[in-house]
Amino acid sequence: MVVFEMAAMLQARGEKVEFLAMVNNYAPPENATIYKVKSELNKFMKMEIGEKFNYAVEKNMNLGKKLLFKARKFIPGDSENTIKEVQIDESGESVGNDLRTIHSVALLNYHPVHVYSGDLVIFRTADPIEAFYNETLGWDRLVTGKIETTIIEGCNNDTIITDEPYNAIMARKIREYLAGRAENESDSGNNRQNGMFSAALL
């Protein structure tokens, strides 16, 4: 997300973005609220009957706690009617120190202002694509240029960056892309009077 925003802002300022790549990075949903509802429904429909029951009970308990907490404001605070305060996460998001959770929350709260008019290269794992996303991981809504996807087999969301040979494969591909673009620039005789910014999220 950060590298996309950087590239889009540079373009908006008249700069030239030479190369933009992302690693297994989904685009923010167009409507975060609808996306969350659809995701929860999709998760619920895939559950076994017992899991569905437990899910419904948990959701109702959480709703009851929230209603109880809000009702506390309107009930006299005598010894018989005092309702103990229940700690409720009003945001509905439990972040903690989980980087994936933090990234997910950031994704749902990111609202791009600019559309990127250049090309985009996506490196991703062979894992199934998340529900409601397509092969471009949703970036076709925000990128008007060519979107090319390279799948790196055998890795996961972490090892695609941290482990050999996956990161070496990705690094080689990036070098090939950059070399190809440099050759095209040379052949076209472009003197690059405009600014240039090469961006890759690794």
DSSP 3-state assignment of 120?
Answer: strand
User: How confident is the prediction for the chain on average, in pLDDT?
Assistant: 76
| Whether residue 116 sits in one domain with residue 20 | yes
Are 195 and 118 members of one domain?
yes
With bands split at pLDDT 50, 70 and 90, how would you rate the model's confidence at 1? Answer: confident
Residue 154's pLDDT is 94
- Has residue 80 been placed in a domain? yes
Distance CA 43, CA 29 (A): 17
d(CA 157, CA 104): 14
64-99 pLDDT, tens digit per residue, is 666 666 566 665 554 444 444 444 444 444 444 466
Q: Final residue of a domain: which of 95, 123, 152?
A: 95
Q: Identify the pLDDT of residue 106.
A: 80
pLDDT-derived band of residue 125, with 50, 70 and 90 as boundaries?
very high
* Nearby residues of 66 by Cβ (< 8 Å), 6 or more positions away: 88
Percentage, residues of the chain above pLDDT 90: 31
19 and 50 assigned to the same domain: no
Higher pLDDT, 12 or 192: 12
Pick from 72, 95, 118: which residue ends a domain?
A: 95
State the residue range of the domain holding 153. Answer: 2-27+110-200
Beta strands in the chain (DSSP E): 16-23, 120-125, 147-152, 196-200
Q: Which residue has the higher pLDDT, 63 or 194?
A: 63
Question: Quick one: pLDDT at residue 94?
Answer: 47
What is the mean predicted confidence (pLDDT) over 107-128? 90
pLDDT, mean of residues 5-31: 90
By three-state DSSP, how is residue 22 classified?
strand
Is 103 part of any domain?
no
Q: What DSSP designation does 116 have?
A: B
Question: Are 34 and 148 in contact, with CB atoms under 8 Å apart?
Answer: no
12 and 33 inside one domain:
no
Do 77 and 175 fall within a single domain? no
Answer whether residue 102 is part of any domain. no
Cα end-to-end span (Å), the chain: 12
Instruction: Specify if 8 maps to a domain.
Output: yes
In a domain, 101, yes or no: no
Place of tokens 């969350």: 36
Banded model confidence at residue 44, pLDDT cuts 50, 70, 90: low
What pLDDT is attached to residue 109? 83
Looking at the fold, whether 171 and 134 belong to one and the same domain comes out as yes
> Which residues 6+ apart lie within 8 Å of 71 measured at CB?
83
Query: Which tens digit of pLDDT belongs to each residue from 168-189?
Result: 999 999 999 888 876 766 666 5
Q: Are residues 123 and 169 in the same domain?
A: yes
8 Å CB contact between 20 and 120: yes
164, part of any domain:
yes
Same structural domain, 21 and 34: no
pLDDT number for residue 35: 57
Is the pLDDT score of 158 beyond 50? yes
Domain end: 54, 70, 95, which one?
Answer: 95
**pLDDT value, residue 108:** 77
Residues 10 and 42 in one domain: no
Do 90 and 58 share a domain, yes or no? yes
* Contacts for 168-172: CB closer than 8 Å, 24+ residues apart: 170/23, 170/123, 170/202
Look at the chain and count its residues: 202
